[in-house]
Amino acid sequence: MKLTRTADVWWKNAVVYCLDVETFHDSDGDGHGDFRGLIQKIDHLHALGVTCLWLMPFYPSPDRDDGYDITDFYGVDPKLGSLGDFVEFVRTARDRGMRVIADLVVNHTSDQHPWFQSARSSPDSPYRDWYVWRDQPPPDGDQGVVFPDKEKSVWQYDRKAKQYYQHKFYKHQPDLNVANPAVRDEIARVMGFWMELGLSGFRVDAVPFLLETDRVQAVDLPDPHDYLRDLRAFLSRRNGEGVLLGEVNLPYTETMKFFGDGVGDELHLCFDFIGMQQMFLSLAREEVSPLTHALKERPQPPRDCHWATFVRNHDELTLDKLTEPERQEVFAAFGPEPDMQLYGRGLRRRLPAMLGGDLRRVKMVYSLLFSLPGTPVLFYGEEVGMTEDLSQEGRLAVRTPMWWDAAAEQRRDPDSLLAWTRKLVERYRECPELAWGAFQVIDTAEPAVFAHRCDIDGGTVVAVHNLAEAEVSVQLPGLGGIAALTDLLVDGTVEVSSDGVAEVDLGAYGCRWFRARSGS
């Protein structure tokens, strides 16, 4: 695999690390993190092997939704630093070989945003049509509520405006009207501003909600996907290496549309929510068929697009695409108490706690993440085994301050989760087959063993994972033309028989990666 063929699509084998500046590192003792603190810890991320940092919102905000309620898309929240601090951080990250992307949260604003305050002040306000208004809410106004524990409708009456405004999320987050050309132009200006300050792209928040225009009272609405194509084209004109990573939690067939069906001219990356949920069902059952089925069903993205894979993100661990019985299986295994669950659809827990602190099992799951086809995305603290704080409200349970003491301890321990994660990142970056190769599940007779191979340009990597505690010896068929498998995680070689079968031993929750050696 020639690097000259891959450098301009760097995100296909990136290691993405998501963090919240406010909870990462506090440089001045005022009780919350800041950009200067993040700069001080940049070498931790460099040593880990991170190649792309994804920043959660750092913009000015009343902070009623952990920064996702924004009052100024062109600024930095003063408690986190200044624009100067931001630029210095981006420069320092670049010096360590890391690109930076940030949340693009433009489906709504805070109700304290000057645009909304102007919009509600008068029907003649130039910002009135920047939001979605109605004299009366539609009959289905109680449908599609994202946070059913907090909201009963997606419409809220504003006494000053004397109309109802739409809010798909919280009532203090009025939706922007993306059908308005002025709004679309402003979103492009926001993107252009931050790219001029060094960003390499954006994680686009709640993409289907951003593009939804079916409730807007207007004529000749633009095709939503035409708009997404316009954003992609604008990004590429301003920055040829720029990337759009989309939060699209839809069935595979629907998600494919957000890549740009068959063309690949919309989002570069989409999170694989289906595969993640089926993985947790497999972990709960200690049986691989849900994950295997999902990966066999997962469509191949267009050529210059890719799936983003993850174990945990910054929201609740959503299980909304599982059936109700399946969801209850995962709840019973990993979050049986009511306060561990959220919205009836997800878990507000981190992986080590869900797995009872079993380091063997935790390490196996992250090995699975880095070996699956797709761009791996880590949430801050995963590399040191952070757990949740259930005393915090809602999603904040998994957004607590980074465990720097644990990182310091694990840095000296070769058997720690931190050391293991570093090894996985290093091996992943050494194996272009995993990012670029053709993926194939290897069927075995063991229900708890997931095996797959990735092939490109004559190179083959095989990965095998045991989802159960029982030790097992498993046969891997279909390896014709391969003489031996060389272990990439520990020393060792497995011979392949003349009929193309290798026998691999796996311990409890064991995992092994192999590079194939040709038989010719």
Q: What is the DSSP string of 199-242?
A: --EEEETTHHHHH--TT---SSPPPHHHHHHHHHHHHHHH-TT-
CB atoms within 10 A of CB 269: 26
Q: How far apart are CA 148 and CA 223, in angstroms?
A: 29
Q: Which of 515, 406, 411, 518 is nearest to 463 (CA)?
A: 515
What Å distances lie between residue 133 and 6, 35, 52, 122, 165, CA to CA? 47, 38, 39, 12, 5
How many Cα atoms sit within 13 Å of 278 on the Cβ side? 19
- Label residue 509 by pLDDT band (50, 70, 90): very high
Whether the predicted pLDDT of 218 surpasses 70: no
Q: How far apart are CA 317 and CA 100, in angstroms?
A: 24
Instruction: Name residues whose C-beta falls within 8 Å of residue 351's C-beta, 6 or more positions apart in sequence.
Output: 311, 312, 362, 365, 382
Whether the predicted pLDDT of 495 surpasses 50: yes
pLDDT for 221: 52
- Any bridge partners for residue 484, and if so which? 495, 517
- Label residue 222 by pLDDT band (50, 70, 90): low
Reported as a single tens digit per residue, the pLDDT across 383-422 is: 999 999 999 999 999 999 999 999 999 999 999 999 999 9
Please give the residue that has the higher pLDDT: either 105 or 140. Answer: 105
Mean of per-residue pLDDT scores for the chain: 95
Whether the predicted pLDDT of 517 surpasses 70: yes
Q: Which residue is listed with tokens 């997404």?
A: 228
Q: Is 512 helix (H, G, I), strand (E, B) or coil?
A: strand
**29 DSSP 8-state letter:** S
- CA 308-198-3 angle, to 5 degrees, is 55
How many Cα atoms sit within 13 Å of 346 on the Cβ side? 25
DSSP string of 55-77, one letter each residue: EPP-S----TTTT-S-S-TTS--
Q: How far apart are CA 45 and CA 57, in angstroms?
A: 19
- CA 424-426-429 angle, to 5 degrees, is 105
Whether the predicted pLDDT of 253 surpasses 80: yes
| Centroid of chain to Cα 367 | 17
- Given the residues 22, 247, 329, 388, the one annotated as active site: 247
pLDDT for 3: 66
| Pair of tokens at residue 161 | 């405006």
Please state whether beta strands 269-271 and 306-310 pair in parallel, antiparallel, or not at all (unpaired). parallel
The residue type at 82: S
247 among known catalytic residues: yes
5-25: average pLDDT: 92
Reported as a single tens digit per residue, the pLDDT across 161-184 is: 999 999 999 999 999 999 999 999
Whether the predicted pLDDT of 92 surpasses 50: yes
- Label residue 214 by pLDDT band (50, 70, 90): low
Q: How far apart are CA 508 and CA 504, in angstroms?
A: 13
- Given the residues 205, 265, 329, 433, the one annotated as active site: 205
Q: How far apart are CA 377 and CA 366, in angstroms?
A: 11
Q: Is 328 helix (H, G, I), strand (E, B) or coil?
A: helix
Whether the predicted pLDDT of 147 surpasses 90: no
Whether the predicted pLDDT of 216 surpasses 70: no
